[in-house]
Amino acid sequence: MPALHLNGPKLLEQIHTLGQIGADPANGGRTRIALTDAEKAGRDQLVAWMHELELQVQVDRIGNIFGTLRVPGDAAPLMMGSHIDSVTNAGALDGCYGVLAGLAVQRAYREAGVLPARSICVAAFTNEEGVRYQPDMMGSLVHAGGLDVQQALDTLGTDGTRLGDELRRIGYAGELEPGAIVPHEYLELHIEQGPILEAESLQIGVVENLQGISWQQVTVKGNANHAGTTPTRLRHDAGYVASTVVSELRRFAKTSGTTLATVGCMHFEPNVINVIPRRASFTVDLRDPSEHKLQQAEAHLAQLLRQLAEEEGVSVDTEQLVRFEPVQFDAALADQIQACADRRGLSYRRMTSGAGHDAQMIARIAPAAMIFVPSRGGISHNPREHTDDGQLLEGAQVLLEVVARRLDKHR
């Protein structure tokens, strides 16, 4: 194994500098929504840094940026990556941390004057957040062949713009065919965006899988009647049915152990204090690392809705908004991450990613795994998103060591 040194101050400085682009002093955080002027500025900065490292910079037709530390031979590269687009008033770490830590790994090779056994590629995937253009994780999905590039380019945004036009406008409509760079392996370092590592005082999350997600929109239709004159037995209360689903899903999630169930949106109509709700619409977010258990949760919800609709005399409609099967990451890669954390004396746990990440798309075409570092208070997508500098550097050290071991082994 070569002696490789992580330039921690440089990594932190780049995270800070990139985090200033799109800063919103009024509302906090930064807003670099995909293919806006602010995100173009972020891309320009990233590309400038890639050129500083004398990487080969390539941009594909969907705007994914690849910076490759090229070594002789035509072996597939080891790829690290994530994204640099953000939500509105975001933290500085979500996505950017993984991309810039990738550069830090490349920098370590460069500064040590060591050539890795394979090319090392750092990818910044287009539109991971999906704020302006749906679906999210779009760039990595196109890269993995899950979405036709032309269809992606024709996507209309919430502001009516066409994605392809905006990509051209900001100068990132590249010529590389998506998926041309098939990685040998893929690693993504990311903040947890959840509270588990912090709650358990752990330093590293060894991410071995990613939950399946089922999003449904449920609409309950009952009858609006007077709150004072309608006996309980004659009610067709849409709000009661919706609320009971929320309460029952919690009970189901507690019993299940692994299933997460969240009702984030709720809307009553007519929403008047003394009128029984005639309509209640709400969303259900179900997640589980096991496809079988996710299906069980969906079946439970369906059964619950049927039963409540019959008991209360209301009608229920459901619409599937999103459905992703769980993703299993590469066990050997996860083992390597765990071994590196262990060797560095860091506390860790194997865990499931609750959020979606580019890694889940790349896992379709290459062995992939993720490394998590703690998020304070589990907070992300928020100006208060925070991970201590020391924790960020520990995560990057683990990434560097995993890369070194993978490339050493393959030498």
- Contacting positions for its own copies (CB under 8 A): 192-196, 199, 211, 213, 215, 225-232, 234, 237, 239-240, 242-247, 250, 253-254, 260-268, 271-277, 280, 283, 285, 287, 321, 353-356, 378-381
The nearer residue to its own copies, 140 or 211, going by C-beta atoms, is 211
Amino acid letter at 1?
A: M
Question: CA nearest 209: which of 20, 7, 360?
Answer: 360
CA gyration radius, the chain: 23
What's the closest the beta carbon of residue 261 comes to its own copies, in angstroms?
Answer: 8
Strands 65-69 and 120-124: antiparallel
Q: In the chain, what's the furthest Cα-to-Cα distance? A: 83
What's the closest the beta carbon of residue 141 comes to its own copies, in angstroms?
Answer: 18
What's the closest the beta carbon of residue 321 comes to its own copies, in angstroms?
Answer: 7
- The answer to whether 128 and 52 have CB atoms below 8 angstroms apart is no
The nearer residue to its own copies, 36 or 380, going by C-beta atoms, is 380
What's the closest the beta carbon of residue 241 comes to its own copies, in angstroms?
Answer: 9
What's the closest the beta carbon of residue 149 comes to its own copies, in angstroms?
Answer: 27
Token output for 360: 């889940």
The nearer residue to its own copies, 160 or 231, going by C-beta atoms, is 231
Q: What residues contact residue 186 under an 8 Å CB cut-off, 6+ apart?
A: 78, 79, 80, 81, 359, 362, 363, 366, 367, 368, 369
The nearer residue to its own copies, 171 or 270, going by C-beta atoms, is 270
Cross-strand pairs, 226: 275
Token output for 58: 């390539």
What's the closest the beta carbon of residue 328 comes to its own copies, in angstroms?
Answer: 17
Question: CA nearest 407: which of 96, 191, 183, 188?
Answer: 183
The nearer residue to its own copies, 73 or 228, going by C-beta atoms, is 228
What's the closest the beta carbon of residue 47 comes to its own copies, in angstroms?
Answer: 30
- Please state whether the peptide bond connecting residue 270 to the residue before it is cis, i.e. omega within 30 degrees of 0: yes
DSSP string across 364-411: TTS-EEEEEE--GGG--SSTT----HHHHHHHHHHHHHHHHHHHHHH-
The nearer residue to its own copies, 161 or 256, going by C-beta atoms, is 256
The nearer residue to its own copies, 193 or 203, going by C-beta atoms, is 193
Q: How far apart are alpha carbons 315 and 326 in whole angstroms?
A: 31
The nearer residue to its own copies, 7 or 230, going by C-beta atoms, is 230
What's the closest the beta carbon of residue 23 comes to its own copies, in angstroms?
Answer: 22
Q: Other CB atoms closer than 10 Å to residue 169's CB: what's the count?
A: 14
What's the closest the beta carbon of residue 49 comes to its own copies, in angstroms?
Answer: 29
The nearer residue to its own copies, 146 or 354, going by C-beta atoms, is 354
Helix (H, G, I), strand (E, B) or coil at 82: strand
Measure the CA angle with vertex 188, ends 187 and 190; round to 5°.
155
